[in-house]
Amino acid sequence: MTKIARYSHAGLERLGVLRGEDYIDANRALAASYAAAGKPNSAALADAILPVDALAFFRGGETTLDALAEAVAYVDAVDDEAARRAGLLVSVSETTTLVPIPNPPKIICVARNFGKHAVEAGLAISEIPILFARFAATQVADGAPVVVPAVSDQVDWEGELAVVIGTGGQHISQADAFAHVAGYTIFNDVSVRDYQFRVTQYTGGKNFFASGPIGPTITLVDEGIDPHDARIVTRLNGEVMQDASTEEFIFDIPTIIEHISEFIPLEPGDIIPMGTPAGVGFKRTPPVFLRAGDVIEVTVEGLGTLRNPVIAEVR
């Protein structure tokens, strides 16, 4: 079971593995393992092999994953209290969750990938995937606020499963696609509807400041999650707004990876949110939009829950 997360603790940004209610500090645990084995310059060696930087982690491939497994095994073999004193184990409650990958090379979102969502929106089901780009700067960590901009009152939710690329490549076949996947996370494609629909492209409405909640962890593929059979539930102030399964994808993950890699190489750390099911706010009667004081939650089976308060922009 491997769920990794970026978090802040004692003023430092760290990369950890979720174990129950604790994080294993992956870099420090690997250094401790090396030191116990008598390897010289253990801290520097751990920095080189298992860095704190999340993007560097995914770029490290199998070498990094093997080092991560060694770090976790070391902490599992020692007393928890000793691990805490050494800074190898920290309670999640003592940390602040950060965006899993703050600097992904690309965030490429899939639109209208659930048939019922296309129908509720009054839009056609496309014969090929519809894609749009998000900027990394729009990402919001679990627990951090989504901001309702001063220029709009039509801010909507879209709970999604997102794919994280581990091995890059171009012209990736559907048969080879899963070999390029590192793991999965939760995404909330918060959309400013009037900006989205007043033109024929999505850039403005999908890229407002603090509109892309993501996380809290990345579940690596060794978890055994079936991304095509996972329930997605979005709740607004505890009330269920969306409830569907990824088995309803129109275009599955291999199809999307093949399609994107036809026109641009995929890179380690790329994020691909796979689209949202029916139940968005703007098609309700009357429409329902996010307001300051709300709490929006997205739960994806096997991945956890992404929870964010909503605040109004202060200008």
Structure tokens at 252: 């599955």
Task: Report the relative pairing of strands 212-220 and 139-140 from DSSP bridges.
Answer: parallel
Reading the block at residue 93, the tokens are: 């409650």
92 shares its domain with 142: no
- Same domain for 193 and 174? yes
Phi, psi dihedrals of residue 221, rounded to the nearest 5°: -65, -20
Question: Looking at 97, 126, 141, which one is the last position of a domain?
Answer: 97
CATH of the domain at 272: 3.90.850.10
* 37 plus 166 within the same structural domain: no
Q: Quick check: is 10 in a domain?
A: yes
Tokens 């922009």, located at residue:
313
Q: Answer with the one of 44, 69, 97 that is the final residue of a domain.
A: 97
* Within-domain flag for 102: no
From CA 232, how far away is CA 215, in angstroms rounded? 14
Residue 154 lies in a domain: yes
Per-residue pLDDT of the chain (315 residues), as tens digits, is: 699 999 999 999 999 999 999 999 999 999 999 999 999 999 999 999 999 999 999 999 999 999 999 999 999 999 999 999 999 999 999 999 999 999 999 999 999 999 888 788 777 789 999 999 999 999 999 999 999 999 999 999 999 999 999 999 999 999 999 999 999 999 999 999 999 999 888 899 999 999 999 999 999 998 789 999 999 999 999 999 999 999 999 999 999 999 999 999 999 999 999 999 999 999 999 999 999 999 999 999 999 999 999 999 998
In three-state form (DSSP H/G/I as H, E/B as E, the rest C), the secondary structure along the chain is: CCEEEEEEECCEEEEEEEECCEEEEHHHHHHHHHHHCCCCCHHHHHHHHCCCCHHHHHHCHHHHHHHHHHHHHHHHHCCHHHHHHCCCEEEHHHCEECCCCCCCCCEEEEECCEHHHHHHCCCCCCCCCEEEEECHHHEECCCCCEEECCCCCCEECCEEEEEEECCCECCCCHHHHHHHEEEEEEEECCEEHHHHHCCCCCCCCCCCCCCEEEEEEEEEHHHCCCCCCCEEEEEECCEEEEEEEHHHECCCHHHHHHHHHHHCCECCCCEEECCCCCCCHHHCCCCCCCCCCCEEEEEECCCEEEEEEEEECCC
- Examine residue 256 and state whether it is found in any structural domain, yes or no: yes
- In whole angstroms, give the CA distance from residue 93 to residue 108: 32
Cβ atoms 6, 15 nearer than 8 A? yes
Q: Supply the pLDDT for residue 123.
A: 75
Range of the domain at 33: 3-97
60 lies in the same domain as 118: no
Whether 51 and 161 share a structural domain: no
Neighbours of 256 (CB within 10 A): 22
Radius of gyration of the chain (CA): 20
Pair 73, 118 in one domain = no
Q: Which of 65, 97, 129 is at the close of a domain?
A: 97
Whether 67 and 117 share a structural domain: no
Please indicate, yes or no, whether residues 307 and 168 belong to a single structural domain of this protein: yes
276 shares a domain with 149: yes
**The pLDDT value given to residue 243:** 98
Listed in sequence order, the residues at least 6 apart from 291 whose beta carbon sits closer than 8 Å to its beta carbon are: 148, 310
Listed in sequence order, the residues at least 6 apart from 119 whose beta carbon sits closer than 8 Å to its beta carbon are: 125, 278
The predicted structure's pLDDT at residue 223? 79
In-domain check, residue 146: yes
Instruction: List phi, psi (to 5°) of 264.
Output: -155, 140
CATH number where 20 lies = 2.30.30.230
Q: Are residues 143 and 62 in the same domain?
A: no
- The count of domains in the chain is 2
Same domain as 212, residue 70: no
Q: Which residue is associated with the tokens 């171009």?
A: 170
Residue partners of 223: CB distance under 8 A and separation at least 6: 1, 2, 3, 183, 302
Give the torsion through C-alpha atoms of 186, 60, 15, 35, to 10 deg.
150
User: Within this chain, do residues 146 and 190 fall inside the same structural domain, yes or no?
Assistant: yes
pTM greater than the 0.85 cutoff: yes
Taking the C-alpha atoms of residue 15 and residue 31, their distance in angstroms, rounded to an integer, is 14
Q: What is the pLDDT of residue 1?
A: 60
